[in-house]
């Protein structure tokens, strides 16, 4: 889905998920490793403050990824 959105729209698609090898296999070009499978963009067990803070830092990393020119599959 990531790859086909990027191909169809010609815009960067940053994928945030936990299993990096799968993202590499399916052809995601800009990859941000997430926290855990059931909560890729949060850490609820660590309390609300840490949860929000990790979500914010992952989103900021995704912004870095979408504004960075890449020529091949890249982890941010």
Partner 1 sequence: MTYRIVHYTNQFFAGLGGEEKADLRPLVRPGAVGPALGLEQALGGEAVVVATVICGDNYMAENLASATEDVLALIREHNPDAVTAGPAFNAGRYGTACGAVLEKAAAVLKVPVVSGMYHENPGVELYGRNVVLVETGDSARGMKDALAKMAEVTRKLLRKEPLGPAKESGLLPRGIRRNVLHEKSGAERAVEMLLARLRGEPFATEYPMPTFRRISPAPPVADLRKATIALVSSGGVVPKGNPDRIRVSSAESYGAYDISALEDLTPDIYESIHGGYDRIWANVDPDVVIPLDGMRALEREGVYGKLHPVLYTTTGTGTSVAHAERFGREIGAALREAGVDAVILTST
Burial 29-55 (b: 16+ CB within 10 A, else e): bbbbbbbeeeebbbbeeeeeeebeebb
The nearest distance, CB 49 to partner 1, in angstroms, is 13
User: Which DSSP category does 74 fall into?
Assistant: E
Q: Name which of residues 8 to 67 contact partner 1 (CB under 8 A).
A: 8-18, 23, 25-27, 29-30, 34, 37-45, 51-52, 55-56, 58-60, 62-63, 66-67
What radius of gyration, in Å, describes the C-alpha atoms of the chain? 13
The nearest distance, CB 6 to partner 1, in angstroms, is 5
Residues near partner 1 (CB under 8 A): 1-18, 23, 25-27, 29-30, 34, 37-45, 51-52, 55-56, 58-60, 62-63, 66-74
């Amino acid at each position: 889905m990531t790859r086909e959105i990027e191909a169809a729209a010609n815009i960067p698609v940053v994928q945030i998920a936990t299993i990096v090898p799968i993202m590499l296999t399916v052809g995601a070009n800009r990859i941000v490793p997430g926290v855990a499978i059931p909560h890729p963009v949060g850490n609820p067990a660590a309390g609300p403050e840490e949860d929000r803070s990790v979500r914010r830092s992952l989103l900021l990393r995704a912004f870095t990824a979408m504004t960075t020119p890449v020529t091949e599959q890249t982890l941010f």
